[in-house]
Amino acid sequence: MEMSVKKLLKRASAVLIRSLSFFVPSQVLFRSLLVVRRTEDAFHRRWGLPISFQKWIDHLYYSLRPSIVQTTFGQAVFYVRLNDPFHYDLVLGKHEPAIHKWLTKNVSRGMTVIDVGSNIGSYTLDIAELVGTEGVVIAVEADPATAMILKKNIQANGVTQVQVIEGAAYRTNGHARLGRAAASTGYTGLYYGKAAEWLEVPAFTLDSVVRRLGLQNLDMVKIDVEGAELDVVAGMTELLQTKRPTILIELHPAAVPAVSNLPSQLRQAGYRVEMLTRDHLIASPS
């Protein structure tokens, strides 16, 4: 009974928040909620916040009307979803600062990089700046709605060295079922257990992508696919033997426990494996 009351209150509050959000201009809402997000983070760092409170703050964001707003990401023009708290974290630089730092040190001009799971392009834009116009960036995004914002961000910044491929990097060519999260785009994936809807999207191996594009070199592959890491790596067996790129992978064993076996698989393929963070693996050719 208590759980039912909580769900009822949550749904009612979501309807109220969404309705009220239509009366406030998107930019005003976004700027105000960016301050809220920044303040929340400062409080959490200093005193800590109960998980229940953090969930209710996220509920506020999720409940806003769907809208795309323009902001900045570093020096870049950046479009984000008004109702996605993950995108606020990107703008504030809260998301994976250690990974941004590693990429800055290890990506250089002229490189060819594949960014699998590009979302709206925060890493893609960073990598594109690092490789310069002499380099190539292939941005892979499975969710069509997210890919639309990704393309908008690339076009808005006049980045010509990035090519977007819509679909899921996978172990075979064909189609795959993508679970779209009701709330944050950061959860959407092939193995998302709480999907609001399932989409059939194109699926392809990275081996086939590299062959089709005629890439002569491949220096790095960055993978963030919410549990589908084994599928992506299974689809790049040729690349592991021939191009031998450095691989940066975010691991999601909570979604797919077998992902824990990935380090040993990469070692068997002749890679040196180290953990950059608790969740991020770097595999370098030996």
pLDDT at position 183 over 90 = no
pLDDT category of residue 45 using cuts at 50, 70 and 90: confident
Single pTM value for the model: 0.94
Per mean pLDDT, which range of 2-16, 25-39, 185-199 is the poorest? 2-16
**E runs forming strands in the chain:** 68-73, 76-81, 112-116, 136-141, 162-166, 168-169, 174-180, 197-204, 220-223, 246-250, 271-275, 280-285
Residue 260 DSSP code: G
Residue 139: half-sphere exposure toward Cβ, Cα within 13 Å = 29
Residue 211: strand, helix, or coil: helix
**Angle in degrees, CA 273, 278, 280, rounded to 5:** 50
pLDDT at position 182 over 90 = no
The model's pLDDT over 193-219, given as tens digits with 9 standing for 90+, comes to: 999 999 999 999 999 999 999 999 999
The model's pLDDT over 242-254, given as tens digits with 9 standing for 90+, comes to: 999 999 999 999 9
Domains and CATH numbers, the chain: 2-91 (no CATH), 96-285 (3.40.50.150)
- Tokens 């995108």 belong to which residue? 87
DSSP string for residues in 141-181: E--HHHHHHHHHHHHHTT--SEEEEESEE-SSSEEEEEEE-
Q: Evaluate whether 68 touches 149 at the Cβ level (below 8 Å).
A: yes
pLDDT category of residue 2 using cuts at 50, 70 and 90: low
Distances (CA, A) of 36 to 22, 47, 53, 61, 257: 19, 16, 13, 10, 35
- What number is the average pLDDT over the span 132-140? 98
CA–CA distance, 152 with 144 (Å, rounded to integer): 12
The whole-chain average pLDDT of the chain stands at: 95
